[in-house]
C-alpha cells in the first residue's frame, strides 16, 4: 500500500488519466460480451480529465463546469445504477432519446452557437504549449507518449459506449 501511495504522489495528472483509461480499456478487452463496465469506475476515470480544463485557462471554465456537471450526474446515477449499460437502459426506458431529439430540433442550434463562440474566445487565451506542459508537469516526449496511450485506451471506451447505444438502436451523432 505504501508503494502505491508513493506512486500516486509522484504521478502527473496526465499519467493518472492515462492509467485510469488504460485500466478500463484492459478491463473491457478482457471481458466477455455479457460483462459490463461499472459506472463508478467510469466516473472516477472521467473525473480525472477535469484537471486539463484548469490548464487551458479561465476561458474554458464554462467547459469544465459543464463537464463536471455531467460527471456529477453520472456519479449520482451510480448510486442507483451499477453499470454503464444499466444507466443506458434507464435512459431508453425514460424516453430520454425522444427528449434529446426534441432538444436537438428546437434548441441545440442556439446552444451550439454559444458554445462555439465561447470556444472561439477561449482559443485566444490558451496557454502556449510550453506553459501547458509545465502546468501538466510533462515534457514534450512524455506528453506525446502518454497522449498516444490515452487515445488508444479512449478508443476502446468509445467503441464500448457506442456498442451499448447501438444495441438499443440509438444512433449517435458524433
Quick one: pLDDT band at residue 131, thresholds 50, 70, 90? confident
Quick one: pLDDT band at residue 48, thresholds 50, 70, 90? very high
CA dihedral sign of residues 130, 135, 141, 145? negative
Record the cell numbers describing residue 90, joined without a space. 434507464
Q: Of the candidates 45, 68, 48, which has an alpha carbon nearest to the alpha carbon of residue 136?
A: 48
Q: What is the pTM of this model?
A: 0.67
Which residues, including other chains, have CB under 8 Å from residue 156's CB and lie 6 or more apart? Answer: 24, 25, 28, 29
Does residue 144 have a pLDDT over 80? Answer: yes
Q: What is the mean pLDDT of residues 157-168?
A: 88
Looking at residue 8, its pLDDT comes to 62
For the chain, domain boundaries = 14-29+36-166
Q: What is the mean pLDDT of residues 78-99?
A: 77
Q: pLDDT tens for residues 99-123?
A: 556 545 654 555 556 665 565 566 5
Residue 39 — φ and ψ, nearest 5°?
Answer: -65, -40
Q: Does domain 14-29+36-166 sit in CATH 1.10.540.10?
A: no
Does residue 22 have a pLDDT over 90? Answer: yes
Backbone region of residue 31 per phi and psi (left: phi > 0; alpha: psi in -120 to 50; beta: other values) = beta
Amino acid at each position: 500500500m505504501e508503494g502505491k501511495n508513493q506512486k500516486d504522489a509522484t504521478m502527473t495528472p496526465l499519467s493518472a488519466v492515462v492509467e485510469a483509461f488504460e485500466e478500463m480499456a484492459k478491463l473491457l478487452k478482457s471481458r466477455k460480451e455479457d460483462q459490463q463496465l461499472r459506472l463508478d469506475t467510469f466516473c472516477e476515470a472521467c473525473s480525472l480529465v477535469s484537471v486539463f480544463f484548469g490548464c487551458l485557462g479561465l476561458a474554458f471554465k464554462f467547459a469544465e463546469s459543464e463537464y463536471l456537471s455531467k460527471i456529477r450526474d453520472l456519479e449520482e446515477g451510480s448510486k442507483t445504477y451499477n453499470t454503464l449499460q444499466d444507466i443506458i437502459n434507464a435512459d431508453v426506458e425514460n424516453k430520454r432519446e425522444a427528449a434529446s431529439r426534441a432538444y436537438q430540433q428546437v434548441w441545440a442550434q442556439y446552444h451550439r452557437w454559444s458554445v462555439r463562440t465561447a470556444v472561439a474566445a477561449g482559443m485566444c487565451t490558451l496557454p502556449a504549449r510550453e506553459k501547458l506542459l509545465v502546468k501538466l508537469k510533462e515534457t514534450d516526449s512524455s506528453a506525446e507518449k502518454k497522449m498516444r496511450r490515452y487515445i488508444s485506451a479512449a478508443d476502446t471506451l468509445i467503441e464500448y459506449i457506442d456498442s451499448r447505444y447501438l444495441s438499443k438502436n440509438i444512433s449517435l451523432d458524433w
